[in-house]
Each structure stands twice: as C-alpha cells, then as structure tokens.
Amino acid sequence: MQIRKLKNQEKPPTELLLLADPSLKLVNEYVQRGENFVAEVSGEIVGVYVLLPTRPNTIEIVNIAVSEHEQGKGIGKQLILDAINQSKKMGYKTIDIGTGNSSVGQLALYQKCGFRISGIDHDFFVRHYEDTIIENGIWCRDMIRLYQDL
C-alpha cells in the first residue's frame, strides 16, 4: 500500500469521498481548496483523505475514507497517521477532525491515533444536511470535534 498526494490533473475519487460525507456540494468545495492524498493498492485507489487549513496554525482532516472491500485492514489508521505526519511537516501546530455522534468506530479509531475530544457542535448535521442520518441505530445530529497537538 502506497500513500501519495493526488496530482492536480487527476480526478478526485468522488465515490470514496461520498462514503465519508454525503454532501457532493461540500465535498467538491473542500477538494478544490484542500490537499488531497490517496492510498493505492496495486494501482487501485482504495483510500483518500483531505487536509484543509482552517485557522492560523491549524489544519483539519475534513474527509477520510477507505473502499468498503478494504475496510478493517488498517488502511484508515495508516491514512490518519500519514495525515498527522504531513501536517507536522507543513508546520501546523494542531490537527482537527470531526465526526458524527453516531460514528462509534470512527471515534474509536481517532482516539487510538491520539486525538482528544475538544467539544460538540450541537445539531451540526441537522443544520447542514437535508436528510436525516441514522448510523448504528443512532440519530446522527451532533458533530464531535477532536484535536491533536503536533
């Protein structure tokens, strides 16, 4: 498995990005503005993450996804650790990530990679997404915000 920056002329892996974020409008917007990285196995793109500067000295993983057939094999963890390293190399002091209150596995993964909870953006998903999101039998309405000092 190889992780590399997506080249400017390359098409972003939209199907993968939509696994992490159902809003095509938001995805297209931050992919344009952010730094996009992909994971490849035998020439096939199986993972992606997008880094977006948000505040002075702070960058955020705004999207991370692994192809369904490759999930649970450690690729997501490697992508998060790569995002932390890239952000450090770029000179950022803090890395943020946010996920839904219903994303139990993602919350586990991010904390295993060193992120700590900083706060809750109540009703974020109610305000920004038209459709109701249910995951693990839980209504996804709040965004759990996490951070890590670099």
- The contact pattern for ligand ACO, residues 21-60, with x = CB under 6 A and - = no contact, is ----------------------------------------
Stretch binding ligand ACO (CB under 6 A), from 3-11, 85-93, 98-106, 115-123 = 98-106
Q: Pick from 10, 72, 116, 117 the residue near ligand ACO by CB under 6 A.
A: 72
Stretch binding ligand ACO (CB under 6 A), from 3-11, 73-81, 123-131, 140-148 = 73-81
- Whether the Cβ atoms of residue 98 and residue 134 lie closer than 8 Å to each other: no
Closest CA to 64 of 29, 19, 4, 24: 19
Phi, psi of 103 (to 5 degrees): -85, 75
b/e per residue, 125-145, with b = 16+ CB within 10 A?
beeebeeeeeeeeeebbbbbb
Give contact residues for ligand ACO (rule: CB under 6 A): 19-20, 61, 63-66, 71-77, 97-99, 103-106, 108-109, 112, 136-137
